[in-house]
Amino acid sequence: MAADAAVQGIRSVDPIGEIGVISAERNPPYNRPPLSKGLWKGEPVDTIWRKTNEQNVTVHLGCTASLLDPGQKRVADTDGNSYSWEKLLLATGGSPRRFSFGGDEVIYFRTFVDYQQLRALTEKGQRFAVIGAGFIGSEIAAALAISRKEVVLIFPGQSIGEHIYPRALSQFVTDFYRQKGVELLAGEKVSGLERRGTQLAVKLSQREILVDGAVAGVGIEPNDKLGQAAGLKVENGIVVDEFLRTSHPDIYAAGDVARFFNPALGKTIRVEHEDNANTMGKLAGLNIAGKSEPYHHLPFFYSDMFELGYEAVGELDSRLETFADWKHLNKEGVIYYLHDGRVRGVLLWNVWGQVEAARKLIAEPGPFRAKDLEGRLK
């Protein structure tokens, strides 16, 4: 998504410059969020494609960049092809964390191919294990349940989203999933997985369960090794300045892989969500094409879980002080995350159209007390 957004940004400034995109994926650029959301609710697959090829760009699919030479301004791929460049964008994203067992039997849900594989399994299987209850895990569990599949959600914590939601909301979400028919195995870690005939045996600490498919969503690692090997500054992601330049003036980075300073939060962050990929990618393209605009955007993110949904901005960390301003308890309201008298994050729980107001609130110096925030966003 970041690469396609960069192409759009370049083309808005320069309609004729030569653009090449090297992608390890075999499908052209597409929107990722529908893979765990809309496609399971009946949205057509054709709606995900971003039509990059309409921007007068050469897309090299199924190619993995393996060597970056900043001095010679060349990139080589694993097939032995070499590409020259004047300006380069690293939008290499991230790769799913993997278990040491299970091999290809586990679907590490991230790509369109992963979606196709899981969708094919649902056409013949009925019982599925979802490992991990973070963003992807909770969404896939809901998607499979909506598709009338038996779902076993396995996670090491005690409740869904306990690292981001306040305790009471996390417990509500956990009970909500149970009511929707999802079997929850909390406090469990998967220790192994092997095929048993037509099914998979998922091994837990004291037992094993048989399923027709296994999906894992246990986070990603930024694909920053290419940049690191080229001598770029890397700190859990490729470090960029406010104009999205890396430590090399002609190399930029954007999307999941980029670590940047955000003025509103006053710290460097790396964001793995759609809004950041699109907004950051487009600005990188603009700056590559000759603009000089700073990236001060505070990205938002969102999730859908059955009929529950939210938009959120900033830091959502359940260890922070929180203030819940409910219109309807656990169904509609705003949760504020505070630290040292400042709002650091806002969770808009079934509340819509308030993202920009939340951004402005996070940028304010405060100090705020919880009672100051009552009714602030509605």
Report helix, strand or coil for 112.
Answer: helix
In 244-296, which ranges are continuous DSSP H helix?
274-288
pLDDT at 296: 98
Q: Report pLDDT digits (tens) over 117-142.
A: 999 999 999 999 999 999 999 999 99
256-to-68, 125, 162, 337 alpha-carbon distances in Å: 19, 33, 23, 23
Nearest to 326, CA basis, from 350, 307, 344, 308: 350
165-to-162, 270, 316, 364 alpha-carbon distances in Å: 5, 20, 7, 23
Q: How much is the pTM?
A: 0.96
Q: Which two tokens stand for residue 228?
A: 């690191």
**Domain positions in the chain:** 2-95+220-288, 103-216, 307-373
Residue identified by tokens 């765990």 is 36
Q: Which two tokens stand for residue 103?
A: 């091999």
Local mean pLDDT, 10-residue blocks, the chain (378 residues): 98 97 97 96 97 95 97 96 98 97 97 98 98 96 98 97 96 98 97 96 96 97 98 98 98 98 97 97 98 98 95 97 97 97 98 97 94 92
Looking at residue 340, the DSSP 8-state letter turns out to be: T
DSSP output for 77-103: ETTS-EEE-SSEEE---EEE---SS-G
Q: Report pLDDT digits (tens) over 64-90.
A: 999 999 999 999 999 999 999 999 999
Count of other CB atoms within 10 angstroms of residue 361 = 22
Which of the four CATH numbers 3.40.50.800, 3.50.50.60, 3.30.2130.10, 3.10.580.10 does domain 103-216 have?
Answer: 3.50.50.60
Which of the four CATH numbers 1.10.10.10, 3.40.50.300, 3.40.50.10880, 3.30.390.30 does domain 307-373 have?
Answer: 3.30.390.30
- Which element (helix H / strand E) includes 135? helix 135-146
Count of other CB atoms within 10 angstroms of residue 205 = 9
| CB-CB contact of 254 with 284 (8 Å) | yes
Tell me how far apart the terminal alpha carbons of the chain are, to the nearest angstrom: 31
| CB-CB contact of 50 with 30 (8 Å) | yes
Q: Which fold has domain 2-95+220-288?
A: FAD/NAD(P)-binding domain (3.50.50)
